Amino acid sequence: MTRARIRGLGFWLAIAATVAVLDQLTKWWLGLYLLPGQAIQVTPFFNLVHVFNRGAAFSFLADAGGWQRFFFIAITLGAIGLILWLMRKHADEPMFCLGLALILGGAVGNLYDRVAHGHVVDFLDFHAAGWHWPAFNVADSGITVGATLLVIDALFSTRRPATEPPGKAVR
């Protein structure tokens, strides 16, 4: 591995760490001002809430008997391992690695919640005409933006297939 690739990997890991730290700081700050279950209206379409999610996205498996905590921890650890491997392998592909870094930071932020508290803290509540989007947090935002970047990268990338010789890009 070249020195440039190692430096590049460190940059992506710093972005992931920033997302995870921002996620935890915002949850800590929220806990200073709101009790669990409490909400504050910020605008006519946005509230700050303090809710717990024992499930995954959109509260998937939130009502399961408690086993889902360890299931989601195991899934997250596997995803983190895969992301680190992909980031190392593709450290010189900026859009791809940025997407992975955002997902990694979000995964680590939510993993910390699951391990430390047994649930994920959500606090951003957008709503319109009585319909509320499921509450989410900074980690969820990192995962969503990261996944969007991966889709954009896949659609518009000019990566060479592994069998193509260098210098011959696929269009």
**Is 63 an annotated catalytic residue?**
no
**Is 122 an annotated catalytic residue?**
yes
Nearest partner of 102 among 6, 22, 21, 15, judged by Cα: 15
Instruction: Point out the catalytic residue in the list 23, 113, 122, 153.
Output: 122
Degrees, nearest 5: CA angle 2-153-56: 100
> What are residue 156's phi and psi, to 5 degrees?
-115, 5
E runs forming strands in the chain: 39-43, 46-53, 120-128, 131-132
Rounded CA-CA distance 135/50 in Å is 9
Instruction: Point out the catalytic residue in the list 23, 113, 125, 140.
Output: 140
Rounded CA-CA distance 24/32 in Å is 13
Q: Which residues are catalytic?
A: 122, 140
